[in-house]
């Protein structure tokens, strides 16, 4: 520990790209009590949309980059060695995102006799089919972690079953959001060039343009609604490898005038607050952070009922509509009902912020800080 009694935490990330895991780590750092903890965020690559944001929540001595260029596989031995060297003075090592940075931290923890805490952000039962054998091998090493934290009960259950890790070694701590900061961000005016999009009803989705998010199903649902005469815009915030694939689908269906891609936005909450309906069409999730954020903004929500995540956020359907994944017809019906029914939208809008407060950093942050304190003192 520090001479002043603070617990020193080394937090590891591969980069700061605009993913949900990185966003959650930024929320964690924003909330961390600096009177009790001394963090260092050790990032392997100086890369990503969250670079500016993380520098706002961290003091200069709380963040360090191991290299300024994109990662190559041949870099890994050197990154592991530098992680080991950096970890020597810390009380606990937190793997902030499943992957190479956390694997480096786990190796360092075992060599140095430090406690290692791994963070599970995704439901690995379906996601395991989309990653390399190297990634799966690294995750099997999580058996050596002192403790794991899953962002939802479902994600923890499936990780335990998939990797044969006792469930009682996985603590469920739901993802946290900064509720008051979200409200402040939601009140910021839209950029003038985007205001006209909201002259008609808007269905909004925020998420990386990757296969996991199920965008083709959302585009098909939007097409069905337009053909049914339900006039609205579909606004998509996010970036990713499937941008041009999705744009090709939009063009092929003749939807270029009603589907709008806004790219990455540092403040998605001002769009959530003005959306007629917020949707998440994912094929799988760990938690679904944007759902909690949308609830805080008062947006009525329609989400797919993945194996884990959305049903826990939405209280089994009490705080938003749930539909089966990969089912454009069911998604279109739920979106259409909300677009046509202002009373139903008002009911969900009124209940959303109260639900979102249960994920506030003041509530969830205490669970994290108690767990880390216990591990650092050898009690967890």
DSSP codes of every residue in 299-320: --EEEE--SSSHHHHTGGGTSS
Mean pLDDT of the chain: 94
Assign residue 277 a region: left if phi > 0, alpha if psi is -120 to 50, beta otherwise? Answer: beta
Lowest-confidence region among 16-30, 95-109, 156-170: 16-30
**Domain co-membership, 320 together with 190:** yes
| Residue 204 in this model has a pLDDT that exceeds 90 | yes
**Domain co-membership, 208 together with 303:** yes
**Domain co-membership, 224 together with 137:** no
Rounded to an integer, what distance in angstroms lies between the CA atom of residue 355 and that of residue 237? 24
* Alpha helices (H) in the chain, listed in sequence order: 20-31, 51-57, 76-87, 100-112, 124-127, 133-140, 153-163, 179-186, 192-195, 215-227, 243-252, 269-272, 289-296, 310-313, 328-340, 342-356, 361-376
CA angle 159, 162, 166 (to 5 degrees): 65
Average pLDDT over residues 37-59: 92
Closest CA to 196 of 279, 277, 274, 290: 274
Kindly report, residue by residue over 220-251, the tens digit of the pLDDT. Answer: 999 999 999 999 999 999 999 999 999 999 99
Q: Identify the three-state secondary structure at position 216.
A: helix
Residue 132 is predicted with a pLDDT of: 83
**Domain co-membership, 147 together with 196:** no
Average pLDDT over residues 201-216: 96
Burial of 102 (0-12, 13-18, 19+ CB in 10 A): buried
**Domain co-membership, 190 together with 101:** no
Banded pLDDT at 19 (limits 50, 70, 90): confident
The more confident residue out of 21 and 343 is: 343
Residue 317 is predicted with a pLDDT of: 96
Percent of the chain with pLDDT over 70: 99
Domain that holds residue 253: 179-359
Rounded to an integer, what distance in angstroms lies between the CA atom of residue 223 and that of residue 217? 10
Residue 131 is predicted with a pLDDT of: 78
DSSP, residue by residue, 156-175? HHHHHHHHT--GGGEEE---
**Domain co-membership, 148 together with 288:** no
> Cα torsion at 119, 121, 122, 123 (round to 10°)?
50
Length of the chain equals 380
Distances in Å between the alpha carbon of 259 and those of 82, 105, 247, 303?
Answer: 46, 42, 9, 19
| Residue 58 in this model has a pLDDT that exceeds 60 | yes
| Residue 380 in this model has a pLDDT that exceeds 80 | no
Rounded to an integer, what distance in angstroms lies between the CA atom of residue 308 and that of residue 287? 7
**Domain co-membership, 74 together with 185:** no
Residue 156 is predicted with a pLDDT of: 96
**Domain co-membership, 187 together with 42:** no
Residue 128 is predicted with a pLDDT of: 78
CATH of the domain at 253: 3.40.50.2000
**Domain co-membership, 278 together with 172:** no
Question: 116 forms bridges with which residues in the sheet?
Answer: 93
Residue 2 is predicted with a pLDDT of: 62
Lowest-confidence region among 131-140, 190-199, 332-341: 131-140
Percent of the chain with pLDDT over 90: 87
**Domain co-membership, 193 together with 320:** yes
**Domain co-membership, 205 together with 236:** yes
Domain presence at residue 277: yes
The more confident residue out of 56 and 326 is: 326
- Total number of domains in the chain: 2
Assign residue 298 a region: left if phi > 0, alpha if psi is -120 to 50, beta otherwise? Answer: left
Closest CA to 219 of 242, 194, 239, 247: 247
Query: Are the beta carbons of 146 and 115 closer than 8 angstroms?
Result: yes
**Domain co-membership, 183 together with 331:** yes
Residue 272 is predicted with a pLDDT of: 98
Residue 379 is predicted with a pLDDT of: 56
Residue 158 is predicted with a pLDDT of: 94
Burial of 33 (0-12, 13-18, 19+ CB in 10 A): exposed
Banded pLDDT at 84 (limits 50, 70, 90): very high
Query: Please, which contacts does 67-70 make with residues 24 or more away whose CB atoms are closer than 8 Å?
Result: 69/45, 70/45
Domain presence at residue 93: yes
Query: What DSSP state is assigned to residue 177?
Result: B
Rounded to an integer, what distance in angstroms lies between the CA atom of residue 194 and that of residue 192? 5
Domain presence at residue 2: no
């Amino acid at each position: 520990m520090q001479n002043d009694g603070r617990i020193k935490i080394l937090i590891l990330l591969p980069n700061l790209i605009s993913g949900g895991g990185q966003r959650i780590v930024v929320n964690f750092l924003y909330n961390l009590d600096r009177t009790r903890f001394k963090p260092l965020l050790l990032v392997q690559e100086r890369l990503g949309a969250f670079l500016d944001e993380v520098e706002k929540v961290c003091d200069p001595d709380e963040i360090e980059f191991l290299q300024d260029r994109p990662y190559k596989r041949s870099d890994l031995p050197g990154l592991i060695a530098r992680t080991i060297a950096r970890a020597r003075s810390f009380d606990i090592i937190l793997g902030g995102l499943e992957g190479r940075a956390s694997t480096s931290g786990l190796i360092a923890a075992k060599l140095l006799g430090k406690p290692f805490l791994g963070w599970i952000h995704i439901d690995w039962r379906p996601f395991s089919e989309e990653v390399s054998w190297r990634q799966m091998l690294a995750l099997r090493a999580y058996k050596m972690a002192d403790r794991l934290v899953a962002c939802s009960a479902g994600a923890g259950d499936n990780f335990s079953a998939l990797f044969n890790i006792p469930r009682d070694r996985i603590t469920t701590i739901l993802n946290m959001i900064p509720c008051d900061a979200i409200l402040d961000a939601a009140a910021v005016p839209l950029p003038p060039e985007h205001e006209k999009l909201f002259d008609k009803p808007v269905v909004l989705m925020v998420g990386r343009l990757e296969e996991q998010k199920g965008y083709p199903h959302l585009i098909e649902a939007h097409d069905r609604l337009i053909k049914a005469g339900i006039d609205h815009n579909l606004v998509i915030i996010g970036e990713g490898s499937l941008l041009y694939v999705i744009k090709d689908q939009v063009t092929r269906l003749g939807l270029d005038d009603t589907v709008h891609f806004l790219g990455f936005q540092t403040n998605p909450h001002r769009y959530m607050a003005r959306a007629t309906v917020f949707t998440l069409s994912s094929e799988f999730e760990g938690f679904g952070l944007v759902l909690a954020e949308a609830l805080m903004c008062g947006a009525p929500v329609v989400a797919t009922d993945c194996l884990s995540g959305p049903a826990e956020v939405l209280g089994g359907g009490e705080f938003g509509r749930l539909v089966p994944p990969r089912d454009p017809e069911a998604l279109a019906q739920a979106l259409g009902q909300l677009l046509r029914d202002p009373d139903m939208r008002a009911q969900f809008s009124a209940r959303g912020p109260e639900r979102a407060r249960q994920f506030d950093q003041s509530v969830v942050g205490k669970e994290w800080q108690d767990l880390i304190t216990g591990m650092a003192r050898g009690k967890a």
